[in-house]
Every structure is written in C-alpha cells, then in structure tokens.
Structure 1
C-alpha cells in the first residue's frame, strides 16, 4: 500500500534553513539532483517580491553552503536558481546525524521525495513511500537524529483532490517503533493513563527495565505520533504563519 507523508525535520543544519530564518518572508523550495555525489546540485525556487528575492540572494552569498549560485529564470514572483554546494554532506550534517551512510541509503529505497521546503526551523518534506515499512524506516532515522513531526499521512489514491489520497485507517498499522509500542501498552496495562493514575512513571519504567527519563521520552514520542497520525493537528509550526 503506497503512502504519502508530509513531515517537518527540525534541524538548523539542513541546507538553506539559515537563509529561510534570515528572510522569513520568502518561500524557499528545493530539489536535490539524484546520484551519490557528496555535493549534489540543488535547484532552488524562491517565491517573493523583488526586495525579498534580493535579500535571499544576499544570504546565498553569506552562507558557506552555497558554493556557486546561478539564477536560471524569473517568472512573476518565482525565481529559480541552480546551486552547487560549497560544503560536503559530511561537513554540513556530519555533526548532527548518527550515520550519513544510513541517510544515503534511506533515499535509495522505495521512497520518492516530491517536495522540500526550507523553513526557519528546518525542512518540510512531502514524500511518497512504497509501503508503511519504507515510511517507518525514514521516520525512525529522523526521530533518532532530530525533531521529527508528522503533519499528514495518507494512502495514495487516484481520486484525491488535494493530491494526497485517502486517509489512513487505524488498522493499517500504528507506525510506532517496537519500543514505543511496548512502553505505551505497558503504561496502559499498569494504569498509568487511568484517572486517577494507579501507576507512576517510575512503575512503568521499572516494568520495562529502563530509566524514568527514557520511559518518559518513549511515551511522549508514541503519544505524539498517534495523535498526529490519527487525530492531526492544526497548530502551526514555530516560525511559520498560521
């Protein structure tokens, strides 16, 4: 079952996030050329008036990430650029990710990234995944390395007017890691979610054999994922307009 997901990657080291933070009025979309190059070429679309575009171009000159920048075309409020990075993937992200080879492998699997938008707080990506396992692999990688926030997860359908498809039913899988699922089930069984509670966080942690802080983190991640996937959130991301 093919899925489409929209999610936020909260990492300031991702390319052009600094530019988006410096010029928050600009909309900055980017695409990465395929291949294994450690400095792949980027195609960037900037949406904004002449003053906003000039501010973005000034930031392009300041940021070490932009090695070479060439304006391709200006059409209305949209300006397109071709950018060759001035820093390698390792130099840009190496201190922020646990394994760059895992990152490269992620995007060679059954995944197609359809859109990337640089925001003041990270990237918002829209991607198509061959199945739930492919999506979970990407989600778990980014959860290990940064603030991953799922914004929308849908089943791909041909009749969807918004281009996303039909909604995911609860019985299609919860999307939790095994550790998160065990933690939330244990908490429920012990009465952690009862009103009033019949078990403390320490009780749940002891049952799982982990520290209370680790238990708290697992429960928060599990609850956040379940709410975002099955309930959704209308709250805007920090730094973004409502």
Structure 2
C-alpha cells in the first residue's frame, strides 16, 4: 500500500525561495511543468502580499528568466515563470550528490503540492512504498535538511501512529496515564496489567510492539541510514 507524506525540505537554493523570502506574508504554491525539457516552466500561484513587491522579486530573482501574469482573482495571482537555470545549475553548489538528485526523478512518487517557504519547500505527495519514501527522504537528509510532518497509508486520514491496534492504544494510554513513562516511574507493569486484566509480560509485549510501530510510522522514515 502507498504512503502519503507531508514534509519540509530545508534548502535556500531551491527555485523561487528568494521570491518567497521577499514576500514572507504571501503564500506561494508552485506547479512544475516537467514536459518542458531541462528547464521546466513553473506556474506560481501567489495569494496575499503586495503585487508590486512580488513582481519586483520575480524580476530581481537570480533563478527567474522571464515571468508573465496569466491570471488574477481577488488577492490571488498566477504567474508563468521561465527559470534562468536548470536544476543542476541551480543546486550544483549546494547539493553534493547531483547524480542522486537525478535518480530521484525515477522514484515511484508523485509530488502533489509544493509551497515555497523562506528557507525551502514544504511538499506533500504520494510514494509507492516505504522503500521509495526512504530513498527520497534519505537523499534530502544527507544533502540539505528534511523534516517529516505527516506520514499515513494511502486512503487513510488517520494521523501518524494510527497503525496501532486497539489493544496497543489501550496499553499505551493506560501506561501513560498511570505514570509508567514518568521519571521516576510512578507505576509498574504488574499494576498496569491488573488495570487491563492481563499479565505483566503481556503488558510489556504490547508496549514494545506499540512503541516499535509508532517509531516506524513517525520518526524512523526521517532518520538517515547508519554508516556501514
């Protein structure tokens, strides 16, 4: 089953970050038209912010060749942007593994939303499986900065960690509310077991399985591989 992820890539060299930094109160959503060769066109949708400041920032940005206002509705304006650089030229001085960047193009993933921030991109997208997501996240952890906000299974709306069973949820909540995770501990596995009407060894197993599943769904995808 596929995974849906929402995350930040912290890299100030990414396209149009300079523009977003010039208008920090605006929301800038980027759509990349990959069918335009080495320098794909961008469709930039900007909501709020001064039109004059936004257009001045587009004109002055080192990575913008030409831009055209193609639509406007209220406080939202849409621009077609021709980049002045290809991705290799844009990121070459900031990303050591350019071959790895190229290989991401073959990753089984669909990036559905890119919001340009003042220090990088916030993205959400679909990944075919854990291996595809790990390949993508590991590259950015090693070459820039990566922070995962949400990771769920495709078709599910539950927040991360909801792969836990009802019994695991119950065990975690009971242990937490009884102070098992406090420092120092305020309860024991025996007392939690009596509350749940199971043995202390069963409590221990449920807690270990629940913690492993929670880490697997949340933090583990953001960790870089251990050195060999």
Match of 2:139 in 1: 141
Q: Give the deviation of 1:53 after TM superposition.
A: 2.3
Distance in 2, Cα, partners of 1:228 & 1:145: 23
* Cα distance change on mapping 1:53 and 1:144 into 2, 3 Å: same
Q: Give the deviation of 1:169 after TM superposition.
A: 4.9
1:199-225: CA deviation from partner (whole Å, max 9, x where unpaired):
xxxxxxxxxxxxxxxxxxxxxxxxxx9
* Cα distance change on mapping 1:33 and 1:83 into 2, 3 Å: same
Distance in 1, Cα, partners of 2:138 & 2:110: 17
* Cα distance change on mapping 1:228 and 1:155 into 2, 3 Å: closer
CA RMSD between the two structures: 2.6
Distance in 2, Cα, partners of 1:227 & 1:135: 13
SS of the residue aligned with 2:38? coil
- How many residues in Structure 1 have an aligned counterpart in Structure 2? 173
TM-score of the two chains, using structure 1 as the length reference:
0.65
Distance in 1, Cα, partners of 2:107 & 2:217: 25
Match of 1:62 in 2: 60
SS of the residue aligned with 2:71? strand
TM-score of the two chains, using structure 2 as the length reference:
0.69
Q: Give the deviation of 1:76 after TM superposition.
A: 1.8
SS of the residue aligned with 2:106? coil
Q: Give the deviation of 1:167 after TM superposition.
A: 3.9
Q: Give the deviation of 1:70 after TM superposition.
A: 0.9
Is the contact made by 1:152 and 1:228 (CA closer than 8 Å) also made in structure 2? Answer: no
Q: Give the deviation of 1:83 after TM superposition.
A: 0.7
Distance in 2, Cα, partners of 1:55 & 1:226: 44
Q: Give the deviation of 1:100 after TM superposition.
A: 2.4
Match of 1:45 in 2: 45
Distance in 2, Cα, partners of 1:102 & 1:10: 17
Distance in 1, Cα, partners of 2:133 & 2:91: 21
Given candidates 127, 130, 145, the residue that maps to 2:128 is 130
* Cα distance change on mapping 1:22 and 1:86 into 2, 3 Å: same
Q: 5+ residue gaps in structure 2?
A: 165-182, 185-213, 220-228
Is the contact made by 1:69 and 1:81 (CA closer than 8 Å) also made in structure 2? Answer: yes
Is the contact made by 1:10 and 1:147 (CA closer than 8 Å) also made in structure 2? Answer: yes
Match of 2:218 in 1: 229
1:127-161: CA deviation from partner (whole Å, max 9, x where unpaired):
10011111000000000101111111111116x4x
SS of the residue aligned with 1:97? coil
Correspondence 1:117-196 to 2 at 5 A: 117-157=115-155, 160=157, 167-169=160-162
Q: Give the deviation of 1:41 after TM superposition.
A: 0.7
Distance in 2, Cα, partners of 1:152 & 1:166: 7
Q: 5+ residue gaps in structure 1?
A: 172-194, 197-224, 231-242
